[in-house]
Amino acid sequence: MPRALAMIGVVLAFVLASGAGQAEEPDPSHGPWLTGNWGGLRSRLFEQGLDFQFVFTSEIAYNPAGGLRPGIAYAGQGTFGLTFDLQRLIGLQDARFQLTYTSRTGQDLVANAGLGTLQLVQEVYGRGQTVRLTQFWFQQKYLNGLLDWKVGRTSMGEDFAAFSCDFQNLTFCGSNPGNIVGGYVYNWPISQWGTRLKVALDGFGYFQAGVYDQNEQYLGYADKLLPVFYPRSTGVLVPAEVAWLPKFGENNLAGSYKLGGWYSNTMANDVLVDINGNAISISGLPAAQRRGRYGAYLNFEQQLTKTATENPKGGLKMFLNAVQADTETSVLDRQIAVGMVYTGPFKSRPNDSVAFAVGTTHVNHRVAQGQALLNSVGLGPVPVQNSEYVFELYYTVVPVSGVYLRPNIQYVHSPGASTQHPDILILGLKSQIFF
C-alpha cells in the first residue's frame, strides 16, 4: 500500500506542478501532437489525403478502501489509425475510408482487488489483452450532405448513443447500451460488419438507422486482425436514432438531444424462468428461450455557459444519459448518468477542465426475484441485488501539446448492487497521449 500511494502521489505532484504549461486540445486532423508536425510532413500528407492517428491511453486505479483487498492496477490501449480522404486521393466526392487497430494491455482492478462492481473502474480494460481490427469502413455523403452512408467493420456504439469517454468509470463512458448489454451490443474496440444511413434534417438535426451482424465470434481471437466474415451468424441488430441539435441564445449554446432504440432478432435465455416456466434458480433446468432483445436510450448534452471570446471552448456543459433494456433477457436492465464539465476554470489554463458525474446501474428486478426465491427455500443465502451508485470527480491538465493528464476520484456505493459489500474509494489517473 505505501508503494501504491507513493506512485499516485508522484504522478499527482507532476500534474499539479505542470500547471504553467498550456496546449490546445488535439484535433485528429490538425494537431497539435506530442511528436509535432514531423518537419511539415504530417501536414503535407494530410493535404494529400492521409491522416494518421497514434494515441495511447493509460488508466491507473488504486482502492484504499473497499474490496476484498487493497490493490493497484494499470490498463492501457494503443490506437493506430489512418484516414484516407478519397476525394483528395482519387477524386471520389465526400468519401473517406478508415482503418484502425487497437492494442489493449494491463490488468483489471475489479478482479485484482475483488471489488465486485457492475461497471469497470478502468473503462479501457476489457475484450481481451490483444491487438484487434477496430475500424475498417467506407463513408460517403450524397446530395450535398443530405445522405451519409457508412459500411464496413464498425460497431453500433460508434454511431448510435455515441458519447465521449473522458471519465475513467465505465458508467460515464461511451455508448451506454453497450455498458449494460455488452454481450450483444458491442462498443470499441470490437467491430462487426454493419451499415448505417443518416439523413440530415435541415434546421433540426438528423435521423439515422443501421443494421449490424450478430455473431459472438467477433469477441474471439480467430482472425482478429483481418476483416473476415465469420460464419454462423445468429441474426441482426437494428438501431435507430433521431437527434435535435439546437443552438440557444446570443452565444449559440450548442445542444445535442438524441433519442434512440434497438432490436436484435437473436435468441436469448430468459433471466428468471426455465423451459417449464419455473424459477431457474430453484429448478436448475435450462432457461426458457426468448426471441428478440431490445431497448431504448437517450443522450442529452447542453452547453450552459461560455467564457470569454478568447477561449471559445470554455464554459459549463451538462449531460444526461439513460438506457433501458428489456427485462426478459437482460441481467442489467437500466443505467442513468448525469454530470457536468467546466472547461477553462482559470484564465491561465483555458484548456483545463473539471468534471463531476453521478450514475447508477440497476440489476433487473426479475433477477433479484430469482435470488429472493433461492433464499426463501433455504438454498442461500445470496445477495438480492438492486442498484449500484457511482460518483466520479476529475481534473484535466494539459502540460504539453498532445498530452492529457486526468487524475480522478471514484466512489462506489452498494458495489455489485448489494448493500452487503462495503463502499469503495478509488484513486485513479487517466492519461492520453496524441503522438
Task: For the chain, give the number of residues.
Answer: 435
Cell of 264: 436484435
**pLDDT of the chain, 435 residues: tens digit per residue:** 444 444 444 334 433 333 333 333 334 445 578 888 888 888 899 999 999 999 999 999 999 999 999 999 999 999 999 999 999 999 999 999 999 999 999 999 999 999 999 999 999 999 999 999 999 999 999 999 999 999 999 999 999 999 999 999 999 999 999 999 999 999 999 999 999 999 999 999 999 999 999 999 999 999 999 999 999 999 999 999 999 999 998 889 999 999 999 999 999 999 999 999 999 989 889 999 999 999 999 999 999 998 765 677 789 999 999 999 999 999 999 999 999 999 988 888 888 999 999 999 999 999 999 999 999 998 879 999 999 999 999 999 988 888 999 999 999 999 999 988 899 999 999 999 999
**Cell 455488452, residue located:** 182
> How far is residue 266's CA from residue 317's CA, in Å, rounded to a whole number?
38
Q: Which amino acid is at 398?
A: V
pLDDT at 420: 87
Domains of the chain: 2-434 (2.40.160.180)
The DSSP bridge pattern shows strands 235-244 and 192-201 to be: unpaired
Question: How far apart (Å, rounded) are the C-alpha atoms in residues 161 and 177?
Answer: 8
Cα gap 324→333, rounded to integer Å: 6
pTM of structure: 0.89
